[in-house]
């Protein structure tokens, strides 16, 4: 019954790169690459991606409505993770590289999640410092 309320998977955008990521397998997430969920997914990234006194929004850039868990302590403990909940069509990108992992949503969940991959243009980054070579 509650399956009616789940968003249907998004079709891929023509020309967009598609990645299939199974739950539990660590993957490299390069800075400046936007992941757009084609399937419902939960992605975990290390909490250490945030430096001291660094706002979460300065590193993790997400569409409005994307759920993130927030750290409860000012300093991340080793192994602590930030979870990002994505519905089909929602996207997120990072301004720092790290390793991510798709989390299973239930016991026995082994279905690979699909993500559209697009590179974020450097000039589109908010608060980006001007490139001195561009003068």
pLDDT digits (tens, 9 = 90+) for 25-60: 999 999 999 999 999 999 999 998 988 788 889 999
Burial tier of 86 (Cβ tally within 10 Å: 0-12, 13-18, 19+): buried
Which residue range(s) make up the domain with 72? Answer: 18-113
DSSP state of 21: E
Alpha helices in the chain (DSSP H): none
Is 3 part of any domain? no
The number of C-alpha atoms within 13 Å of 18 and in the hemisphere containing its C-beta is 12
Is 97 part of any domain? yes
Is 30 part of any domain? yes
Is 119 part of any domain? no
Question: Which of 37-46, 56-65, 124-133 bottoms out in mean pLDDT, i.e. has the lowest?
Answer: 124-133
Is 105 part of any domain? yes
Q: CA–CA separation, 31 vs 128, rounded Å?
A: 13
Could you tell me whether strands 113-119 and 41-46 are parallel, antiparallel, or unpaired per DSSP bridges?
A: unpaired
Domain tally for the chain?
1
Is 106 part of any domain? yes
């Amino acid at each position: 019954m509650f399956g009616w309320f789940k968003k249907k998977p998004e079709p891929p955008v023509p020309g967009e790169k598609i990645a299939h990521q199974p739950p539990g397998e660590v993957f490299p997430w390069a800075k400046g690459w936007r992941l757009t969920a084609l399937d419902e997914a939960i992605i975990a990234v290390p909490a250490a991606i945030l430096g001291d006194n660094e706002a979460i929004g300065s590193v993790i850039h997400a569409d409005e409505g994307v759920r993130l868990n927030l750290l409860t302590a000012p300093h991340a403990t080793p192994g602590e993770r930030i979870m990002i909940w994505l519905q089909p069509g929602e996207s997120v990108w990072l301004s720092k590289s790290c390793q991510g992992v798709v989390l299973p949503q239930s016991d026995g969940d082994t279905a690979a999640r699909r993500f559209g991959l697009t590179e974020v243009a450097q000039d589109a980054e908010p608060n980006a410092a001007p490139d001195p070579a561009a003068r």
